[in-house]
Structure 1
C-alpha cells in the first residue's frame, strides 16, 4: 500500500483523519483505544447495525410498535457492540501481531509498533469483555445464552485465514450475531425470520470484507495467509454481485416472514429496506477498483451507510 500517512505520533495508518481518539483522548489511553480500533469506527457500525435490524424486525413482527424497553435494548446493544468490537479487535491484533508487523498498512498498529505489550493487550481485552458481560446480563436468559455463544466465532476468526480461503465467512458468523441478539432481546426466542436476517448479514459481510481484503492482497500472498480477495482475483466483481443478490433476497425473505400480518402498505415499506440496502451495494460496485487500496477502504467504510439505510426503513415500518 502506498502513500501511507505519517504514523510517527502513534497514529495508525488506516485510521480516519479526524478521528476522536487522536484528537481528544488522553495520551495515556490512546494506544488502548487504537488497539480497540476506536479510531476506526466503521467496524463498530458494522457489528452494531445487525442488532438494530434484529430489534426492528422483532418489533415489526409483534405489531405492537416500539416501547421504552426497546430503547433500553438499543442502548445496550450500542454499548455492547462498542465493547465487544474492541475486545474482538484486541484479540485479533494479539493473534496477528507478527503478521501485522509484515504488512505495510498494519505495522503501525499498537502491538506490532510496540505501543502496547502482548500481556497488557490481553488484560485490556478481558476488561472489555467483562464490561460487555455486565450489559448482557441485563437482558433475558435466552439472549444471555446467545451472547455467550457469540464468543466462539470471535475466538476462531483470527485463525481462519491460516486454514481457509474463506475467512470472511467466519467474520460474517461473528459480526452478524447481533441480528439474533436484537430479536431475542425483544422476543425471548428465535424464529425463521431472524435466522434469514442473520444469513443476509453474512452475505453482506462477504461483500464488504472481500472489498476490504483487496487492500492487503499483495502482502497476504507473500506472507501466505488466505482471503476471498486472493481466491476470487479477477472474478471478484462477479462474486460481489452474487453476495449482493443473496443479501437482498435473504433480507427480503426475513421481512416477509416478520411483517406477514402487517397491513400491505407497512409490508411494502419494510420491503424497501432490502431494496435500498441492495441499491447502495450496487452503487459501490459501480465505483469499485480492486487495484486501488484507497478506493477499497473508502467503499468498505461506505457500508455503514448501506446498513443504516436498511435499519432506518425497518425502524420506520416497525413503528407504524
Structure 2
C-alpha cells in the first residue's frame, strides 16, 4: 500500500523565500491548492495587513470625528475585502510579470513562472477573488462603492510601472493607500481633508516600506531592467526612506488635527513614528533578510497608529 502524500513536505517543497515560516494555510492546504494559496499571497499575510491598515486608520478617524469609536462592522468588512483584493491584485501582478519573475531568483519559484499554474487558471482565480471583493464593496453606501471602483485603474496599471519609471513604489502607494479614503467614505458618504491627509500619509508610508522590500531584489532588478526606488536611492536609501516616513508622519499630524484628536490619538501617532525611526536606523542595503524583517514589521507600526486612533474615539464616546 502506498503511503499518503505528506502535506507538510509538499508545502515546504514549494515554499517561497518570503513566505511566513510554518504558515498554517500552506500546511493545511491540499497539494493542488498550494499554488493558489501562493498566488493570493495567503502564505504572506503582511500584504493584506498593509492594504487593510489605511482602511482602519480612516474608519478610526471617522469615529473620532463622530465622537465615537470606529464602526466595527466596517472594520470587519474591510478585513474581508483586503484579503480578497490583495489576493486579486497579487494574482494580476503575477500574470503580468510571469516572464520577468522567471528571471529573478526570489520570484522564479512562484506558481506561474514555475509552471504550477496556467495563466488561464490564474485568470479564473482572479475573477473569483474580485467577486468576493465586489460583494464586500456592495455592502457600503453608493459614494463608497464609487470610491472603491475608482481605485481599479491604479491597480491595473501598477505592474507595468516598474518598466517605465523608477517610482513604481509611488504607484503602489496610490493603490495600497486607497483605504485611507474608504473608511471615511463608508462612514460619511463623502470625503474631507482628514481622509485625504490620512490617504497621503499611507502613500508616503507605502513608498518607504516598499523601498525597503525592494532592497531584496535590487541586484536581480538591475540585470533584468526593472526599476525601483531602492535602485534609485542606491547609497542614499536610508535617507530616502527617512524622507518618505517623515512626510507620512506630517500628513498624519494634519489628519489628526483635522478631527480634533485627543491624547490617545497623538500617542498612537508618536508610537507609529518611533517605530518608523527604529526601521530607518536598521536599514542595511546588502542585508536582504533584514529588509524582509523590517518590511514585515510595518504591520505592527500600522497597528500602533490604529490602536491610538480607535481608543481615542472610544474614549470620547464615554466621556
1:36 maps to 40
CA distance in 2, matches of 1:222, 1:273: 42
2:4 maps to none
1:314 and 2:309 are equivalent in the alignment: yes
CA distance in 2, matches of 1:309, 1:71: 17
2:156 maps to 155
CA distance in 1, matches of 2:17, 2:272: 29
1:15 maps to 19
Q: What is the DSSP-based 3-state SS (H/G/I as helix, E as strand, rest coil) of the residue aligned with 2:202?
A: helix
Q: How far is 1:267 from its partner?
A: 1.7
Q: How far is 1:8 from its partner?
A: 7.1
1:262 maps to none
CA distance in 2, matches of 1:27, 1:258: 50
CA contact (8 A) 1:7 1:108 kept: no
CA contact (8 A) 1:21 1:34 kept: no
2:284 maps to 289
Q: How far is 1:46 from its partner?
A: 0.2
1:56 and 2:57 are equivalent in the alignment: no
1:75 and 2:67 are equivalent in the alignment: no
TM-score normalised by L of structure 2: 0.93
CA deviations 1:199-242 (Å, max 9, x no partner) are 00011011100000010001000101100001000011111111
1:268 and 2:263 are equivalent in the alignment: yes
Q: How far is 1:276 from its partner?
A: 1.3
TM-score normalised by L of structure 1: 0.93
2:5 maps to none
CA contact (8 A) 1:166 1:227 kept: yes
Q: How far is 1:9 from its partner?
A: 2.1
CA deviations 1:271-301 (Å, max 9, x no partner) are 2222211110111112221111111011100
CA deviations 1:160-215 (Å, max 9, x no partner) are 10010000000000001111111111111100111000000011011100000010
Structure 2 spans left out of the alignment, 5+ residues: 1-9
CA contact (8 A) 1:256 1:271 kept: no
The number of residues matched between the two structures is 306
Matches within 5 A, 1:1-320: 9-63=13-67, 65-66=68-69, 70-259=71-260, 267-320=262-315
CA distance in 2, matches of 1:208, 1:125: 26
CA distance in 2, matches of 1:186, 1:28: 41
Q: What is the DSSP-based 3-state SS (H/G/I as helix, E as strand, rest coil) of the residue aligned with 1:127?
A: helix
CA distance in 1, matches of 2:312, 2:263: 9
CA distance in 1, matches of 2:269, 2:165: 30
Q: How far is 1:243 from its partner?
A: 1.0
CA contact (8 A) 2:11 2:27 kept: no
Structure 1 spans left out of the alignment, 5+ residues: 1-5, 260-265
CA distance in 1, matches of 2:164, 2:188: 37
Q: How far is 1:29 from its partner?
A: 1.6
RMSD of aligned alpha carbons? 1.3
CA contact (8 A) 1:153 1:173 kept: yes
Q: What is the DSSP-based 3-state SS (H/G/I as helix, E as strand, rest coil) of the residue aligned with 1:105?
A: coil
CA distance in 2, matches of 1:30, 1:238: 39
Q: How far is 1:74 from its partner?
A: 0.9
2:7 maps to none
Between 298-307 and 7-16, report the one with greater CA deviation.
7-16
CA deviations 1:113-152 (Å, max 9, x no partner) are 1111011101100110011101110110000001111111
